[in-house]
Amino acid sequence: MMDSSSVLIVGGGITGCAAAWELARSGATVRVLEKRDLASMGSGRTLAGVRQSGRHPAEMPLAMAAVRRWETLHDELDADLEYRQDGNLRLAEDAADAAFIQKMAETQRSLGLDIRYLDGNDEVRGVAPALSETISGAAFTPSDGHANPIATVRAYATAAERAGARFESGLTVTALARDGDCVTGVETDRGTYQAEQVVVAAGVETPNILKSAGLEFAISLAMVPVVQTVPINPLFKQVLGTAKAHFAARQEVDGRVRFSSGGHPIVVSTEGLTRDDMQPGCGRTAETLARAVSIIPALAEAPISQIWGGLVDLTPDGIPVIDRVTELEGLTVAAGFCGHGFCLGPVSGEIIRDLVLGRTSRFDLEPFRWNRSVAHENADSPELLG
């Protein structure tokens, strides 16, 4: 039982934990309910690129503001997040890729992003010598970067706890509790929790919670295979991604290389989801490994430490919902991040805080409305991940 000015957050990923920090330090009484462990789904399985390049035009202001926040986030949270701002390289493997990337760079420069085109293999390898001779060009965004996702989520949670938030893991929210058109809390497998406001930030499982109140949240899923090597000598500093969005990689601070082959549509029930449901098949894994070695030949010698899969929550128009739900007073949803939610975490937390506290956001939130039409689907839109 909680007091009537409290906020319950469902989901202990980066979105829920960043929201908990922003709300708790603003004086709200906050409790986070997490089904597994903190950062056990998207926020722990992620590649953890902190990237503005390639973003949907509507999302670009959020991504750019998020990067400004990332630059000082370690001070704000008083923790080492292993954040590195060494840039992003979007790689061309053929002439069609090069044309696509050049056009993308032009569009994104017009949105205010410092992104430049590196023409030819020599120029690209001047920046990242480990890349294959088959890379014919790249878009370079110097202010992009990457961070340690689990350290970041834990840092948010610890900071939120210091500010008074409470966290409970290992319990499942089974339904929204309501009185008429008002949310009054949640039902869990450990009983009812009351609250004046509820924030659902449950990633791919968000629809399961909303449907208990008759609310439909249409997302599809993609599975992203991820391979992580043991620590190896420094190979490259930037976050790498291909024009076709079928490969992305970064080298972590301890030398491990984490790479993926992009998202693959998957149909799986998220009710009762287990780790095995998310594991990539042998074919996808083989494809991921082959692509990695063709783009970064030195990886052929790198011993593998782990292979896992992560699920991505895809909305029809490629950008998330971050909004109060019109049908149910007191309910806020933040989900459907389409493979971009790690970078956006600091800003998502801030937007959720403003929505919950009834403050005016510094961002244009129209594109992220709950009841938007999906007519603003964008052909240039943005690839998954990175």
Applying CB under 6 A, the residues found at the interface with ligand FAD are 10-16, 33-36, 40-43, 45-49, 51, 172-173, 201-203, 205, 209, 224, 226, 260, 310-312, 335, 337, 339-343, 385-386
Minimal distance, residue 133 CB to ligand FAD, in Å:
26
Angstrom distances, CA of residue 302 to CA of 38, 128, 136, 255, 336? 29, 18, 24, 11, 34
Minimal distance, residue 138 CB to ligand FAD, in Å:
17
74 or 125: CB nearest ligand FAD: 74
- Asked whether 114 and 142 are in contact (CB, 8 A), the reply is yes
180 or 244: CB nearest ligand FAD: 244
276 or 301: CB nearest ligand FAD: 276
Secondary structure of residue 14 in the 3-state scheme: helix
51 or 154: CB nearest ligand FAD: 51
Angstrom distances, CA of residue 108 to CA of 92, 94, 140, 292, 309? 17, 21, 12, 27, 30
Minimal distance, residue 100 CB to ligand FAD, in Å:
20
16 or 137: CB nearest ligand FAD: 16
Q: Which helix (H) or strand (E) holds 225?
A: strand 220-229
Q: Token digits for 260?
A: 């993926």
Q: Which helix (H) or strand (E) holds 25?
A: helix 14-25
Residue 312 to residue 275: CA distance in whole angstroms: 14
Minimal distance, residue 48 CB to ligand FAD, in Å:
6
125 or 370: CB nearest ligand FAD: 370
Minimal distance, residue 205 CB to ligand FAD, in Å:
3
Distance of CA 111 to the CA centre of its chain: 21
- Asked whether 27 and 55 are in contact (CB, 8 A), the reply is no
Minimal distance, residue 263 CB to ligand FAD, in Å:
8
- Asked whether 157 and 100 are in contact (CB, 8 A), the reply is no
DSSP code, position 380: T
Minimal distance, residue 362 CB to ligand FAD, in Å:
20
48 or 65: CB nearest ligand FAD: 48
Minimal distance, residue 102 CB to ligand FAD, in Å:
23
Residue 95 to residue 113: CA distance in whole angstroms: 24
The arrangement of strands across the sheet holding 173-179 comes to 173-179, 182-188, 191-194
125 or 256: CB nearest ligand FAD: 256
- Asked whether 239 and 85 are in contact (CB, 8 A), the reply is no
Q: Which amino acid is at 93?
A: E
Minimal distance, residue 268 CB to ligand FAD, in Å:
13
Minimal distance, residue 232 CB to ligand FAD, in Å:
20
34 or 86: CB nearest ligand FAD: 34
The three-state DSSP-derived secondary structure of 132-192 is: CCCCCEEEEECCCEECCHHHHHHHHHHHHHHCCCEEEECCCEEEEEEECCEEEEEEECCEE
Hey, which residues does 258 pair with through a beta bridge? 228, 250
29 or 208: CB nearest ligand FAD: 208
